[in-house]
Amino acid sequence: MSDLDSTRVAVVGASGYSGAELIRILLSHELAELVCVTSRAESGRKLSEVFPRFRGVERAEAIKFIEPTIDLIIGSGAEVVFLALPHGVAAEYAGPLVDSGLKVIDLSADFRISDPEVYADFYEADHPDPDRLSDAVYGLPEIRPNEIAESKLVASPGCYPTSIILPLIPILQEGLIDDSSIHVVSMSGTSGAGKKADAALLFAECNESVRPYSVPKHRHLSEIEQELSLAAGNNVTISFTPVLVPVTAGICSIIYATSRDGSRNDDVKGALENKYSEAPFVRLLGESSPPDTKNVTQTNFIDISWSYDKRSDRFILMSAEDNLIKGASGQAIQSFNLMCGFDQTTGLVI
Amino acid sequence: MSDLDSTRVAVVGASGYSGAELIRILLSHELAELVCVTSRAESGRKLSEVFPRFRGVERAEAIKFIEPTIDLIIGSGAEVVFLALPHGVAAEYAGPLVDSGLKVIDLSADFRISDPEVYADFYEADHPDPDRLSDAVYGLPEIRPNEIAESKLVASPGCYPTSIILPLIPILQEGLIDDSSIHVVSMSGTSGAGKKADAALLFAECNESVRPYSVPKHRHLSEIEQELSLAAGNNVTISFTPVLVPVTAGICSIIYATSRDGSRNDDVKGALENKYSEAPFVRLLGESSPPDTKNVTQTNFIDISWSYDKRSDRFILMSAEDNLIKGASGQAIQSFNLMCGFDQTTGLVI
Amino acid sequence: MSDLDSTRVAVVGASGYSGAELIRILLSHELAELVCVTSRAESGRKLSEVFPRFRGVERAEAIKFIEPTIDLIIGSGAEVVFLALPHGVAAEYAGPLVDSGLKVIDLSADFRISDPEVYADFYEADHPDPDRLSDAVYGLPEIRPNEIAESKLVASPGCYPTSIILPLIPILQEGLIDDSSIHVVSMSGTSGAGKKADAALLFAECNESVRPYSVPKHRHLSEIEQELSLAAGNNVTISFTPVLVPVTAGICSIIYATSRDGSRNDDVKGALENKYSEAPFVRLLGESSPPDTKNVTQTNFIDISWSYDKRSDRFILMSAEDNLIKGASGQAIQSFNLMCGFDQTTGLVI
Amino acid sequence: MSDLDSTRVAVVGASGYSGAELIRILLSHELAELVCVTSRAESGRKLSEVFPRFRGVERAEAIKFIEPTIDLIIGSGAEVVFLALPHGVAAEYAGPLVDSGLKVIDLSADFRISDPEVYADFYEADHPDPDRLSDAVYGLPEIRPNEIAESKLVASPGCYPTSIILPLIPILQEGLIDDSSIHVVSMSGTSGAGKKADAALLFAECNESVRPYSVPKHRHLSEIEQELSLAAGNNVTISFTPVLVPVTAGICSIIYATSRDGSRNDDVKGALENKYSEAPFVRLLGESSPPDTKNVTQTNFIDISWSYDKRSDRFILMSAEDNLIKGASGQAIQSFNLMCGFDQTTGLVI
């Protein structure tokens, strides 16, 4: 199937939704060998017992959860470690593992923000390992594939940020919009809140409910603005409102931005096509062809559309992705592929 | 129960979702006597046969659908007629009924837009009865109760417009925001699309789907901007994106607007409290207390919250309503109550 | 509105789903005055703060949760107390309250089973107050209205039992089916599991999930078989499988039973019509007209249909109810009305 | 990847839900080459235009829908043809295609019933091609792999039947249950009703709805009883009630049957393990471990559990499958693999 050797991987904190998606992808990834899954709560149990979906899957039946200690992870022989842990906790693992020569892909926020003061402002705690921030790469494979390929520590982006940054970066880079005019509303499925026993996330509370939250300052603003500022070449501040809607998976973002210098739909189309012509997971739907999350769930695609409103001289950018895949685990696998020298799509196509 | 006489009412076009909600409310309204329900498709069938929810409800068991002819409606003895018909069709009924001395509450768009050219622009057809537009009152009971009380033709507002206009009017009237800075995203349940056999609205298409549509120029913009312009005292153009989400009922609107002259949360709070202190169906949730559609469905309440984001100098206004009740039938009943001299809440509390 | 005096009521354990429904009904019940709501967790908070649906409802704004002590409940002046507590806990309140002269309507299982050994078998604990069992009435208003009217302690039936017992009692009483042939599958919404922080009840776990549970011996079998045995005149054992389906509210039961002595649809129809001709909340849909839970949710109705299958010589009985209303709080209000001498439908019609 | 040559396939009637699932699987099937997809309604449109999920999938972008004529299908070079057509229509294609030397896998009911009189009874029409019935194989890969492998015309089983037959066959074959005691309730997602514009299937009608239908004689009874009778060695009549529940995909069946000759859980377990030890898609969950449809959706697995209820001396068998995959398209691919000499799991694992 390939002359490439497969890579041994570990998933730390594997009992949540992102962890389960990572494992699902890795179990059928032809160049990854899953050698270690950890979970404090599930230690000792078989993977297929904790995740009944994986029963009968040969590669899954052989694996048991172990305790998440640095020694056990290193001892498993893993070459690359995915951290699916809460922020603050991930940093406790990333440093020692990298220092021991392993590569780390962190799905938490710990290494996404290059400025520790911004981290402290948004996460209300001092950064646990500020000296290592400069070693980390913010892992958007469409934007900086080479840095990811050479990195030992990838900070995989958040779900909301991915859906907002990817449509905007090419447009900001080409100066097509007023960078002070960005307003975003993002709707997310409940799996984004994680698998935690919280009465506010019960079916009977989320069903038939549409619920904005974390206004006006959601934590993801920190990484969104960091990346948009890099693209614009100056500080960008945006408005962002997340809304919980009753789907299990999927994020849809609506992004408003005012046209600059007479830019129109064709300019936006050109910028996006130019930037993403080689990006296998970005699908450009065309003008005024809104995305639908159900077309991207269970895939690593992000669908993007745009519409110029001449009445207001504003663009409406729209995107849809699976929050657990392109917004988390699938994107982390893209980075993994790049870090291992594999084709970016390995294990991810349909 | 009351010294007031009850009023005889008809519901024309009663087989859809708004019609069913109107009937539900009217069946338990102590001062309304439902004497006529029409539906071309259901003519001859009992109300309780078409709407099994109403089986066993004494007042419902006695009523059958009839053909929607002007003569039959007038012949029923109805004093007030609700039109739950498509736009374009409603106007065919409104004129003759008003001319015959009946009062009309129209739930369609036909008499909402005072300027027939704007109607033609947004509805892509000449207005069917332009001379009558000046007689119609745009029926927001919180904004113009007296005009409604004295009107013979009330144009009851659309679902999206209600959720957007009510939070903004007091704030625009007091000049607290830059009226060129308004950006809106509204999420709606699927009942808003009506009870029509359309494959795009099947459960299997809407479930696990988040789907923007009608960008960049949804028809409701016409009435939203008309009312906001009246409040602001000059022409207001906004951005508006509707999104279909998998709930049956409910609309949640997220509205961004830039602060003007240093206005802050307290100013917004003051403007809303001032305007709605006597409005029984407007609930002000307070600063940064986002609404949840599940708290308003099945009721005529609209919940409103606000949050000033100092980072962007913008306000985030949020509202939630039941699209079929406060956004359609309940609001129409409010107008009915005003037109009949009843208390505004009759038939509508809890 | 009525010459009857209103009755002062308390709801103990009012923070869950059944409690909220009880409160919702009581707030608009013209002959009930809600004087006391208790909740250990919410003590001191306003009703409208805990249940945002009740904001702006005048009668709700005046009420605060208090601690659930016997003294405080009695001190509130309540004449009738609803217990919406877990089984085992309810019995600690029922006795002292009844002994103090208050009437009690218990929504838990504590006084439903007349035989304490059956209770111990199904609930895996000794009955907490066996001497009082003989004073309690199993509160099916359609079956024993007079006993309820005269009782001081009503054990309000469970949600599944109500949906199964009401269709079967008339048919068993008339001997139309083989009482050893009953097989039941009941599908329930997730609100039936209560408002508890349990990861298995998260939206992301219940959505797109159909999940049988508690096989083969769900606790509700104890009361179902008790009541069916009374109707049949001998011991009846049935099969029963509950299934969790992704709706918030609603139970649908499918009941198979073999025809006896050549009984057919008309016999079943006759038995049901005969028994329920005066029952305002039982709606008989007719032969082979299956019910749909969406027609009964938010109401106190139970819809019943039947179909004789000549191929198997069996009847298929089908019922639908709102698990929180006819299956819990609405039914308890029916009993309350009977105990107070009110019309059975007070506060409950549409 | 394999020394086997790939097989050219056509999908006729590919615009519905089963057709889309077939295409999804075939697009990533390493030994199938999709050369022809037909749809009268979508003829001329690209596959990725009709199914936006397939945008960006290289193999999909190259394919357009064509008209469903026999000549065009044969002309496409297809060796195996899947018919995803309504019953009655499928038979018009099957005969000519088989006579032209192509192999046919029919997902409709047309060749499932070996007795044309039974077909006429259940489908209320004469069988369109009765002489060919004896050539067709009822395509349960777990039960008759060899006949499928050698067949030119496979009648792929219905969704409900698969979920009911697979648990029961081993148990009937070993005589562990009374074959006159079978009672079934099956809950299905709405995709089973197909992608047709029917108001009863709208989101607003199916959401928050649990709805039995087609009582007492659903068409699938014909094939269920045919296969159970073969297993039992005598005529078997069962009771079966299908229930529509608000999920997109998934079927869960609850099957009651009375123990015979003292059989217990271990006997059932033994029979199932014995029969399915080599069946890659049957997962035996163990005693009283109910299945959950969410663990099988998007897969070709069927999960089976069992529970002996000593109180009633009955077994409760439970199964879960994805109605569109194991219940339709995935199972058809299993047959395809067998017919082509491929491993049964090709294109189907995880």
What 3 state SS string does chain A have? CCCCCCEEEEEECCCCHHHHHHHHHHHCCCCEEEEEEECCCCCCCEHHHHCHHHCCCHHHHCCEEECCCHHHHHHCCCCEEEECCCCCCHHHHHHHHHHCCCEEEECCCCCCCCCHHHHHHHHCCCCCCHHHHHHCEECCCCCCHHHHHHCCEEECCCHHHHHHHHHHHHHHHCCCECCCCCEEEEEECHHHHCCCCCHHHEHHHHCCCCEECCCCCCCCHHHHHHHHHHHHCCCCCCEEEEEECCCCCCEEEEEEEEECCCCCHHHHHHHHHHHHCCCCCEEEEEECCCCCHHHCCCCCCEEEEEEEECCCCEEEEEEEECCCHHHHHHHHHHHHHHHHCCCCCCCCCC
Pairing of strands D7-12, D80-83: parallel
pLDDT at site C311: 96
Judging contacts by C-beta atoms under 8 Å, the chain A residues touching residue B286 are none
Q: Write down all domains in chain C, each with its CATH number in brackets.
A: 7-135 (3.40.50.720), 159-323 (3.30.360.10)
Subunit contact A191:C198, Cβ cutoff 8 A: no
Query: Is the separation of the CB atoms in A327 and A4 below 8 Å?
Result: no
Mean pLDDT of chain B: 96
pLDDT at site B350: 57
Of the residues D159, D206, D252, D340, only one is catalytic, namely D159
Question: D142: helix, coil or strand?
Answer: coil
Subunit contact D56:A283, Cβ cutoff 8 A: yes
Judging contacts by C-beta atoms under 8 Å, the chain A residues touching residue B213 are 290
Largest CA distance in chain D: 62
Mean pLDDT of chain D: 96
How far apart CA C108 and CA C85 sit, in angstroms, is 6
pLDDT tens for each residue of D161-216: 999 999 999 999 999 999 999 999 999 999 999 999 999 999 999 999 999 999 99
Give the nearest chain A residue to C195 (CA atoms). A199
Mutate to test the interface with A, among B118, B164, B179, B210 (most CBs of A within 10 A): B210
Give the nearest chain D residue to B200 (CA atoms). D197
Subunit contact C247:A207, Cβ cutoff 8 A: yes
Cβ neighbours of B6 (radius 10 Å)? 15
Q: Which chains touch B (3 or more CB pairs under 8 A)?
A: A, C, D
Subunit contact A204:C248, Cβ cutoff 8 A: yes
What is the amino acid identity at position A156?
S
Q: What residues contact residue B334 under an 8 Å CB cut-off, 6+ apart?
A: B141, B281, B300, B344, B348
Judging contacts by C-beta atoms under 8 Å, the chain C residues touching residue B324 are none
pLDDT tens for each residue of B195-212: 999 999 999 999 999 999
Angular region, B316: left φ>0, alpha ψ -120 to 50, beta rest? beta
How far apart CA B335 and CA B141 sit, in angstroms, is 6
Give the nearest chain B residue to D248 (CA atoms). B204
Nearest CB to A1 within list D1, D53, D292? D1
Give the nearest chain A residue to B204 (CA atoms). A294
Subunit contact D316:C247, Cβ cutoff 8 A: no
- Residues A212-227, mean pLDDT to the nearest whole number: 97
Subunit contact C295:B24, Cβ cutoff 8 A: no
B-D contacts (CB, under 8 Å): 64
pLDDT tens for each residue of A332-347: 999 999 999 999 999 9
Subunit contact A207:C17, Cβ cutoff 8 A: no
pLDDT at site A2: 47
Cβ neighbours of B124 (radius 10 Å)? 8
Judging contacts by C-beta atoms under 8 Å, the chain B residues touching residue A215 are 288, 290, 307, 309, 316, 318
Mean pLDDT of chain A: 96
- Residues A159-177, mean pLDDT to the nearest whole number: 98
Would you state the torsion angle of the CA atoms of residues B84, B86, B91, B96, taken in this order, to the nearest 10 degrees?
-50
pLDDT at site D321: 98
A-D contacts (CB, under 8 Å): 50
- Residues B326-344, mean pLDDT to the nearest whole number: 98
How far apart CA A224 and CA A112 sit, in angstroms, is 10
Task: Convert D28-79 into a string of H (helix), E (strand) and C (coil).
Answer: CCCCEEEEEEECCCCCCCEHHHHCHHHCCCHHHHCCEEECCCHHHHHHCCCC
Judging contacts by C-beta atoms under 8 Å, the chain B residues touching residue A311 are 216-217, 221, 237
Subunit contact D53:A295, Cβ cutoff 8 A: yes
Judging contacts by C-beta atoms under 8 Å, the chain C residues touching residue D254 are 185, 212, 241, 243
CA distance A40 to chain B (A): 32
Judging contacts by C-beta atoms under 8 Å, the chain C residues touching residue B27 are 350
Distance of CA C54 to the CA centre of its chain: 23
CA distances from D185 to B62, C199, D161 (A): 37, 27, 12
Categorize the per-residue pLDDT at D58 as very low, low, confident or very high, splitting at 50, 70 and 90.
Answer: confident
Subunit contact D210:C308, Cβ cutoff 8 A: no
Q: Which residue is associated with the tokens 């405080």? A: C72
| Residue percentage of chain D with pLDDT more than 90 | 95
Query: ω into residue C167 within 30 of 0, thus cis?
Result: no
Subunit contact A199:C197, Cβ cutoff 8 A: yes
Query: Is the separation of the CB atoms in A291 and A252 below 8 Å?
Result: yes
pLDDT at site C350: 57
How far apart CA A347 and CA A27 sit, in angstroms, is 9
Q: Which residue is associated with the tokens 């922080």? A: C197
CA distance A322 to chain B (A): 11
pLDDT at site C2: 47
Subunit contact A292:D53, Cβ cutoff 8 A: no
Hey, what are B229's tokens? 């312009």
Nearest CB to A252 within list B205, B243, B307? B243
CA distance D349 to chain A (A): 8
Judging contacts by C-beta atoms under 8 Å, the chain A residues touching residue D55 are 283, 285, 295, 301, 303
Subunit contact C246:A191, Cβ cutoff 8 A: no
- Catalytic residue set of C: 159
CA distance B341 to chain A (A): 35
pLDDT at site D3: 57
Give the nearest chain A residue to B257 (CA atoms). A183
Subunit contact B183:A183, Cβ cutoff 8 A: yes
The rounded average pLDDT for each run of 10 residues, N- to C-terminus, in chain C (350 residues) is: 78 94 95 96 94 90 95 98 96 98 98 97 96 97 98 98 98 98 98 94 98 96 98 98 98 98 98 97 95 97 98 98 98 98 90
Subunit contact B311:A216, Cβ cutoff 8 A: yes
Question: B128: helix, coil or strand?
Answer: coil
- Angle in degrees, 0-180, between the axes of helices C221-232 and C116-123, rounded to the nearest 10: 150
Mutate to test the interface with C, among A202, A207, A209 (most CBs of C within 10 A): A202
Categorize the per-residue pLDDT at A104 as very low, low, confident or very high, splitting at 50, 70 and 90.
Answer: very high
Judging contacts by C-beta atoms under 8 Å, the chain B residues touching residue A190 are none
Judging contacts by C-beta atoms under 8 Å, the chain B residues touching residue C52 are 285, 292, 295, 303
Subunit contact B292:C208, Cβ cutoff 8 A: no
- Catalytic residue set of B: 159
Categorize the per-residue pLDDT at B2 as very low, low, confident or very high, splitting at 50, 70 and 90.
Answer: very low
Q: Which chains touch A (3 or more CB pairs under 8 A)?
A: B, C, D
CA distances from D333 to B250, B290, D27, D301, D346 (A): 42, 49, 12, 13, 8
Categorize the per-residue pLDDT at B158 as very low, low, confident or very high, splitting at 50, 70 and 90.
Answer: very high
Nearest CB to B247 within list A217, A246, A288? A246
Of the residues A159, A206, A252, A340, only one is catalytic, namely A159
What is the amino acid identity at position A322?
D
Give the nearest chain D residue to B244 (CA atoms). D203
Nearest CB to D190 within list B195, B197, B203? B203
